[in-house]
Amino acid sequence: MAVVLEFGTVISEATNAIIQAVADYLLAHPFPGLQELVPAFTTLTVFYDPWQVRAAGAGSPFEVVAAILRERLAQLPPTTADAETGPAVEIPVCYGGEFGPDLEAVARHCGLSPAEVVARHAGADYRVHFIGFAPGFPYLGGLPAELAMPRRASPRARVPAGAVGIAGAQTGIYCLPTPGGWQLIGRTPERLFRPEAADPSLLRAGQRLRFVSITAEQFRHWPAA
């Protein structure tokens, strides 16, 4: 079972910072029966085992969990969007050509040259709002407003792992070969999802991220992870 905590209706760094702070606090102060926390753009879903919760307090499991969450939220220290999140993770990207087949279309839509799209995309600071859609897929906030681009009218049947795309006001990275309708502007040689690892996702919610432009030659000779 689960309780969904809502923190607003607008996607923003401030909202994401609060969600991450609440998630971190709940993980540091777990209650009996807590199973998993799933952050999203404006919500945090708290999954719990109703049988363990029922044994820990009077009332229905939902009532018990709701009371605990109200108590935890009241104890939460003040949070700001500038809270320390550690150094930015750098993700190498080869833009355009075979690696970014939609770069030209994005440039035309935005009234920019392909080089200007690359410079603005790689020059921005991003925040990982949450991981979703597919294992390891990061939804990133911070895309420059002038690079916003609608999804493709016809989604691709297969988008390669590592593809970097734009959809609306978001940018993200496909971590596995999947169907997808995002506008592909580049690809990274990094493996963002490693199922064999103890922590399979290279990125996590709340991290800072920057893209670093690399050449096709660098892409092809990038060290295997």
19/191 Cα distance (integer angstroms) = 27
Print the domain residue range for 36: 2-75
- The answer to whether residues 65 and 132 belong to one domain is no
Which CATH number characterizes residue 60's domain? 3.30.1360.40
- C-alpha distances (whole Å) from 143 to each of 9, 41, 82, 124 are 19, 15, 18, 7
Query: Which strand ranges, in their side-by-side order, compose the sheet holding 43-48?
Result: 2-6, 43-48, 34-39
- The answer to the question of residue 80 being in a domain is no
pLDDT tens-digit map of 30-65: 999 999 998 888 899 999 999 899 877 678 999 999
Domain check: are 203 and 103 in the same one?
yes
Query: What is the reported pTM?
Result: 0.80
Confidence category of residue 14, pLDDT binned at 50, 70, 90: confident
CA angle 150, 151, 155 (to 5 degrees): 160
pLDDT at 111: 97
Q: Which of 48, 75, 102 is the last residue of a domain?
A: 75
Residue range 115-124: average pLDDT? 97
